Amino acid sequence: MIILAIVTTIAIGWVGAAFGHDYMNFPQLGTILSVATMGGFIMGTIRKNNHR
């Protein structure tokens, strides 16, 4: 699960940076999306562990 989270975060960050730079003149979009993605994975893990 950790490897999936890392790969997904990197991919979303890369795509977000490319899209933000090319179309929106906002290259920081990749960083924002990466942090949001990793936060989602962390919150999902915390929620999963609290239901036990």
pTM (predicted TM-score): 0.84
pLDDT score, position 52: 62
Distance (Å, whole) CA 12 – CA 31:
9
On whether the CB atoms of residues 43 and 35 are closer than 8 A, the answer is: no
- Give percent helix, percent strand, percent coil of the chain, each to the nearest 5: 85, 0, 15
pLDDT score, position 19: 93
Tens-place pLDDT, residues 4-48: 999 999 999 999 999 999 899 998 999 999 999 999 999 999 998
On whether the CB atoms of residues 16 and 33 are closer than 8 A, the answer is: yes
For 38, the token pair is: 């990793």
Count how many residues are written for the chain: 52
